[in-house]
Amino acid sequence: MGKTVHFATGIGGLHDQYAAMCIAALSIMSEVARLCGKSGVIMRYTCLKGYLVPVAQDMIRSGYIQGGNPELYSDDMVNYTGENQAAFMAAVQGYMMREEPAVNMIFGALKAEAQQTLVAGARVGAVQLAGTPRLYYQALLVILCDYNLIGDELFAAGAYLSKDPAQLGTIQAQDWNKLIVMFLIILSAITSSFGLDLIGLLFSW
Amino acid sequence: MSILKRKETAFLFYVIPMVAIVFIDYTGIAKPVGSELISWAIVIWIFSYFVGIYNMFKSRLAVLLERKPGWQYSILLFASFFGILIFGFMQHDFGYNWIVENLLTPMTLGVKIYGFVLMIILARGAKTRNFDVTFLLIVLIVVMFGKSALGPAMIPDILVLKDFFEGPINTGVMRAIKIATGIGLIVIFIKGLLGLEKAYIGEIVLSAEE
């Protein structure tokens, strides 16, 4: 009891090609902040991007207000480690060893900082949750986490947590799109076997 | 609701510039406007460093003044920050290069010992609590054994198994994840355009649970 919850969004930010992953991670964080506020648990967020500081502070403050414990919120729940990946790794590992959080979460566009963060979390016995659509880190997350989001699950998670009908509709659309792609793959595999390049025809059309 | 979190604000500062940049990039019409928008974004991004530094200084200064555990590291942080800032501004090559070569690079490499970390992951971090992870670790051992010089020499058939895992299984799964991720990206993009997704301006997701 009395331990903290740690959350991080990895190296990807809102200004680069990883913006969608970062947005999805932030929408998960909003729900985590609300649940921490509801349970009276202190949350810590570590980020690599300066512009995420006000965004995260706003989200966490709103989460604690919604959760019914606004007095627990303080601005130092958000920690900026500088834009350097190694600095982020060192800061998170130091934090893990000092505070020994009960839960360690890292979502978004993850690179090498994810494995360091999760190994440090494993050493202090934290429950670990992580997710990234980046291919290279899928197996690492499966090995290191108690629960993880594979591939596009990260994009669906925020919408799923919101329970908002409009956002849930996008998950359904995502599933229908997947079904269409699966159908096209099977169809093109069959037609290719008979010498007809269906995908080539579709793209040339 | 704060004016910054209104749908109109999200449209003005996110949707319109994004659509404009995509349109200009594809059509080539009004290229200077596109360059100007990107320049604005870069200026705002650089300015955001100050926001982060302000936050870092505020929290570290509180640790230092209140003598919280580890306050000595705050002195180190301020000394490092101002040291490299002064040498950078003075364009003092010797001082700046000395810090980069003798302090920053070795410390960065020390933190980023990827190979070593990957090896200790199995020893320290692996959570073999369910079937999936156990299966993954078994496959990992088979592939590693198959890739080593000793493995095929001891069990020649292991190469067949290794190629099977690396070939159809791995490729199929990777492609499936890539396709699904692509669809997810499009969905997030559409949600942003429709103003449903506003996490980037600090909008909290409203849960229908309560």
Q: Looking at the predicted structure, is the pLDDT value of residue B126 above 60?
A: yes
- Would you give the DSSP letter of residue A13? -
Q: What integer pLDDT is reported at residue A188 of this predicted model?
A: 87
B179, A178: Cβ pair inside 8 Å?
A: yes
Question: From CA A60, how far away is CA A53, in angstroms rounded?
Answer: 11
pLDDT of residue A57: 92
A46: left (phi over 0), alpha (psi -120 to 50) or beta: beta
Q: Do B125 and A122 touch (CB under 8 A)?
A: yes
Cβ contact, residue pair A162, B208, below 8 Å: yes
Query: Best residue in B135, B179, B187, B189 to probe A by mutation, most A CBs within 10 Å?
Result: B187
* pLDDT band with cut points at 50, 70 and 90 for residue A9: very high
Confidence band of B46 (pLDDT split at 50, 70, 90):
confident
Asked whether the predicted pLDDT for residue A199 surpasses 90, the reply is no
> Mean pLDDT score of chain A, rounded to an integer?
89
| pLDDT confidence tier of residue B78, bands split at 50, 70 and 90 | very high
Closest in A27, A54, A143 to B205, CB measured: A27
Residue B24 has pLDDT above 60, yes or no: yes
Look at residue B207 in the predicted model and tell me its pLDDT: 57
CA angle B127, A84, A31 (to 5 degrees): 55
Interface A–B counts its CB contacts (< 8 A) at: 207
Chain A hits for B108, Cβ within 8 Å: 84, 86
B11 or A102, which is more confident: A102
Q: What is the mean pLDDT of residues A51-63?
A: 91
- Look at B126 and A85 and tell me if their CB atoms are within 8 Å: no
pLDDT at B129: 73
The per-type count for chain A, helices as H runs and strands as E runs, is 8, 6
| DSSP one-letter code for B155 | -
- This model's pTM is above 0.95: no
Nearest to B202 among A55, A121, A159 (CB): A55
Q: Above 60 in pLDDT, residue B4?
A: yes
Q: Do A178 and B122 touch (CB under 8 A)?
A: no
What mean pLDDT is reported for chain B? 83
Q: Do B180 and A178 touch (CB under 8 A)?
A: yes
pLDDT at residue B195 in the model: 74
Residue A83: predicted pLDDT: 87
Chain A residue numbers touching B56 (CB-CB < 8 A): 79-82
Nearest-CB residue to A59 (from B132, B196, B204): B204
**Identity of the residue numbered B65:** L
DSSP string across A135-152: GGGHHHHHHH-SEEEETT
* Contact: B178, A89; criterion CB under 8 Å: no
Per-residue pLDDT at A150 exceeds 60: yes
pLDDT > 90? residue A47: yes
Nearest-neighbour CA in chain A from B182: distance (Å): 8
Residue A103's pLDDT band, with cuts at 50, 70 and 90, is very high
What percentage of chain A reaches a pLDDT higher than 70? 99
A115 contacts in chain B (CB < 8 Å): 117-118, 121
Does residue A196 carry a pLDDT above 60?
yes
| pLDDT at A36 (0 to 100) | 94
Give how far A20 is from chain B: nearest CA, Å.
Answer: 6
Cβ contacts (< 8 Å) between A85 and chain B: which residues? 112
The ipTM, to two decimals, is: 0.80
The predicted-structure confidence for A152-186, as pLDDT tens digits, reads as follows 899 888 788 877 787 788 888 888 988 998 898 88
Are B180 and A151 contacting, i.e. CB atoms less than 8 angstroms apart?
yes
Higher local confidence (pLDDT), B201 or A11: A11
- On the question of pLDDT at B130 being above 70, the answer is yes
Cβ density class A22-48: b for 16+ within 10 Å, e for less:
bbbbbbbbbbbbbbbbbeebbbbbbbb
Name the residue of chain A whose CA is nearest to B105's CA: A86
Give how far the C-alpha of residue A133 lies from the chain's centroid of Cα atoms, to the nearest Å. 9
| Nearest Cα residue to A130 out of A14, A20, A35, A21 | A21
The model's confidence at residue B1, banded by pLDDT at 50, 70 and 90, is low
Between A199 and A89, name the one with better pLDDT. Answer: A89
The span from the CA of A174 to the CA of B64, in Å, is: 49
Query: Distance, in angstroms, between B125 CA and closest chain A CA?
Result: 5
**Euclidean distance between CA atoms A47 and A107, whole angstroms:** 11
Contact A138, A165 (CB under 8 A): no
Identify the pLDDT of residue B209: 53
Structure tokens belonging to residue A123: 């050493």
Residue-wise pLDDT tens digits, B157-188: 889 999 999 888 889 889 999 999 999 888 88
Question: Does A5 have pLDDT greater than 90?
Answer: yes
